[in-house]
Structure 1
């Protein structure tokens, strides 16, 4: 580590002598400052903060004792070494009192100077390392401390019980006994803030917003803000000075707005001695209040008792629309549902979560039904929020319509691939069983498809009816067998699926334009 030293003496030759005698570079000192008296030295010490200070005692303007007093009052960590030509008790007593590292008498011996310098540097380095470790420990504690209090207060919100150990820690940390006093809890949903002001970085949002809130709450020790570890969506404001709750929350909202230009929704519950009851009250308000309301700090007055619209109640109608493959039909159904939601229900966080959860359930069921082999991702955190953090009905409607549009496309594609794959399997079946007496009814029963659909789709994909395609396969096989002159015509007929030689010959002539015998003779003539 590079260090600095300062030599303070009113005699220039003393300063020069110390500079020459000291093994400065050996001890890592690369800068040596000089001052003629304590007054000049103070200015240099303030500017450069040297680790090692050599000072005379008798100097004009400000002497060594006055300088030692100043150094002691500043609590500088520098190592001060007194260099004096006077073996004076008063000087030595002051040097000890003001924590001087050592006292060297003039004339200075090089060995004595460098030994003291070495010890001073070693002690400074040891203490610097200790301070560094303490800083690290302090940083770790500062990082862990909020997590500890998050856990303590979150548990209190869930259990309502306040163990004696937790009560004592809270009293020691916050100077407040929570056991028998009324408290209010306010909840701030973090998702809109994280999405709009923190690029979806929820950890950063929690850290920043809790610091903003705690700075205001700690001024008069009126409460504490913490992260609810049992619900990742909530920032919790616990207020034990409940009379000031509305004003405090107004100040917190204003501070958040000044920082990120977002006005958060805050759900303020009823007062209760029990933290569990205080939390339940605010959580109920947060989940059920109307997001279309213009109020930012909402209370029980803004909560109306209404049931939820359940997508599962409309699953059959939606399924029929999806099976039709018509995007327009499905989106028309979704529009009617959204209109119904707007007319008779409340756009609350509870309603939104219910819609999203049930949509995912229906989607997974339909995907299984269509035998789509894919891992359906967990539903994304939808962005239903305006730039100021308020709820956007238009964005909600748009995203719900888009969810169903994507689902229609996915299922339509799966249906097409499934149907196409079934027709391919039918074609493969014909090739492997051409020797058998195959009927359209048998194929229909085997592949669970209607005869009409198979006929229409097969003709569309292969430009031939099932019967013509099967005949074509049989004729190709027959021609291969006719190349073998040792095989009888009736044997070939039987081999390709015909029990009657005359019927086989008739079909062969219709398909190829000549009889099986003529075809065989034409092959022989060519060879």
Structure 2
């Protein structure tokens, strides 16, 4: 439990109850003390108290009156009364007025521990039930805000169920990139992850406090002031549009203004196609400049926010369609999600530029790999046609116009062996064919496969085959 309030006019008894409660094994965050019912009532009206242990006989306001007054408070704590033998009948009577249990003086430690344990279990059950009801309420609110197909009867049912715990007066909806945990407070309802955004529904009287504290430093879209759950969907749509404006204009706080909306424009599809086709070429930076120009057009109000988002969405969709095979290798694909999952347009553009550059580099690497493979295939054809001649790696790499060192590396990657061994194997394979299908002499076969020195040929043949060609 969070708070335990002990109400007892005798100081030593108060302190004794406190000491026993702290040693009871029940987790208690705070134990408060006061000496009469008036002080206790003031505390209970000012903050939430989980459990009250109160004596019956006290000056100014006794325990009986206190119990009755507590029932009128916004938050009613669980109550345990302490009585002497002569007041036992009062204790039993108070059980009918919401008191959970009683303790007879002198108080026994085991009895107090048992009662506190029982009350802690009840508090946990109540909290779990409250959490469940709050979750249901949050889902209902989300339904009201998001569901376009909800009929009038469904709306009325949800409103009737939830309106008792909703603000009676004016409220504002804030749509923001807030993703931290938020502890519920009076006048503020927080909905986590509504289409990737944090939604605050705030009593109009609390707006300045929440904006200066919880929402400070975030990118926030604010609705206008609304009243009643019937307007919650309209308020949410306003906040969402304002959040989009905050995102696009890199502003921390934007209040919805219908007059500020720009009519949707029409963008040229060929611009998008041109940007996408430049990816994977040496014109990638030019494509990114075109992306910057699109954003500039928005900032000078040449295109609307909807048009800008449509263009950005079109770029990413066409990019994925065109380069889907390469994109499978890139693990971080966050930017395909809703743009408002990013704080601002500048953050999103910085990310997408980085992402496009990485994609461009991968495409160029793949293209280089493809061209290198083509060149190696040409080299192999050249070797096949010219292995009878005085052939070496310098001659072949020069033939296909490839750097000598790069050729050595790529050749081995492609064939699985180095150039010298590959050439030996080609020549030995042809020598074996000539040995089995012709009556040519060793010296002639040696020349036919590119070796002027027949003794050198015989040494290489034996090294490759394990036997001499004369066997």
> What TM-score, normalized by structure 2, do the two folds share?
0.58
Is 1:188 the equivalent of 2:174? yes
Pick from 135, 140, 152: which aligns with 1:161?
Answer: 152
Pick from 10, 17, 31: which aligns with 1:49?
Answer: 17
Cα offsets for 1:218-277 (capped at 9, x unmatched)? xxxxxx7452775332515387xxxxxxxx28x514432234533753342597995476
Contact 1:187-1:267 within 8 A present in 2 as well: yes
Compared with structure 1, are the counterparts of its residues 352 and 47 closer, same or farther at alpha carbon in structure 2 (3 Å cutoff)?
Answer: farther
Contact 1:185-1:268 within 8 A present in 2 as well: no
Secondary structure of 1:324's aligned partner: coil
Compared with structure 1, are the counterparts of its residues 43 and 117 closer, same or farther at alpha carbon in structure 2 (3 Å cutoff)?
Answer: closer
Contact 1:150-1:228 within 8 A present in 2 as well: no
CA distance in 1, matches of 2:142, 2:176: 16
Secondary structure of 2:335's aligned partner: coil
Contact 2:245-2:254 within 8 A present in 1 as well: no
Query: Following superposition of structure 1 onto structure 2, how do residues 250-399 of structure 1 map, counting pairs within 5 Å?
Result: 251-259=206-214, 261-262=216-217, 265-268=220-223, 274-275=230-231, 278-279=234-235, 282=238, 285-286=241-242, 289=245, 291-292=248-249, 296-307=254-265, 313-343=270-300, 345=302, 348=305, 350=306, 354=310, 357-368=313-324, 373=329, 377-379=333-335, 391=344, 393=346, 395-399=347-351
Structure 1 match to 2:364? 412
Higher Rg? 1
Structure 1 position 317, deviation (Å): 1.9
Contact 1:309-1:341 within 8 A present in 2 as well: no
CA distance in 2, matches of 1:358, 1:335: 15
Cα offsets for 1:35-63 (capped at 9, x unmatched)? xxxx9x711233342669xxxxxxxxxxx
CA distance in 2, matches of 1:483, 1:167: 91
Compared with structure 1, are the counterparts of its residues 282 and 420 closer, same or farther at alpha carbon in structure 2 (3 Å cutoff)?
Answer: same
Compared with structure 1, are the counterparts of its residues 289 and 374 closer, same or farther at alpha carbon in structure 2 (3 Å cutoff)?
Answer: closer
Cα offsets for 1:51-86 (capped at 9, x unmatched)? 69xxxxxxxxxxx9955984556667365444xxxx
Contact 2:174-2:223 within 8 A present in 1 as well: no
Contact 1:228-1:235 within 8 A present in 2 as well: yes
Is 1:134 the equivalent of 2:73? no
> What TM-score, normalized by structure 1, do the two folds share?
0.53
CA distance in 1, matches of 2:432, 2:202: 94
CA distance in 2, matches of 1:380, 1:521: 63
Structure 2 match to 1:27? none
Compared with structure 1, are the counterparts of its residues 253 and 339 closer, same or farther at alpha carbon in structure 2 (3 Å cutoff)?
Answer: same
Is 1:232 the equivalent of 2:196? yes
Compared with structure 1, are the counterparts of its residues 381 and 374 closer, same or farther at alpha carbon in structure 2 (3 Å cutoff)?
Answer: closer
Consecutive unaligned residues of structure 2, counting only runs of 5 or more, are: 1-7, 22-54, 68-78, 95-103, 388-397, 412-417, 463-467
Pick from 68, 77, 80: which aligns with 2:80?
Answer: 77
CA distance in 2, matches of 1:308, 1:125: 73
Structure 2 match to 1:513? 452
